[in-house]
Amino acid sequence: MAAGFAQLRGVAASRGHWGVDAVLARAPSREPWPDTPKARAWARRRVADLTRDARLLALLADEVTRYAAKRWVAVITPVVTAA
State pLDDT tens for residues 2-37: 888 999 999 999 999 999 888 888 888 888 888 899
Overall pTM > 0.75: yes
- Report d(CA 44, CA 24) in Å as an integer: 18
* pLDDT for the residue numbered 80: 53
Listing DSSP states for 51-63 in one string gives -S-HHHHHHHHHH
**Span between the terminal Cα atoms of the chain, in Å:** 45
DSSP conformation class of 24: H
Residue type, 11: V
Nearest to 31 by CA among 83, 72, 70: 72
